Amino acid sequence: MLRRRNTIAGWLFLAPIILLFLTFIAFPLLFSGYLSFTRWDFVSGMKGIEWIGLKNFQNLLHDQIFLYALENAVIYILCIVPVSVICSLILAYLLNNKVYIKNILRLFYFIPYISNAVALAMVFKYLFRASGPINLVLANLGVTDLPQWFSNPSLAKIPIITLVIWTSIGYQVLIYMAALQDVPIQLYEAAEIDGASGTQRFFKITIPMISPTTFYLVIIRTIAVFKLFTSVKIMTGTTSERSSTTLVLEIFRQSFDKYNFGYASAMSWVLFMIILIVTLIQMKGQKKWVHYGS
* Integer-rounded Cα radius of gyration of the chain: 24
Across the chain, what does the average pLDDT equal?
89
Domains parsed from the chain with CATH numbers: 58-117+155-288 (1.10.3720.10)
Whether residue 45 has pLDDT greater than 90: no
Supply the pTM of this predicted model: 0.88
Lowest mean pLDDT among 55-64, 66-75, 138-147, 285-294: 285-294
Which has the closest alpha carbon to 213: 187, 178, 243?
178
DSSP 26: I
pLDDT for the residue numbered 169 = 93
Cβ(74)–Cβ(157) under 8 Å?
no
CA 84 and chain centroid, separation: 11
Buried b (16+ CB within 10 A) or exposed e, 66-91: bebbbebbeebbebbbebbbebbbeb
Helix (H) / strand (E) element for 20: namely: helix 2-21
Q: 241 falls in which pLDDT band (50, 70, 90)?
A: low
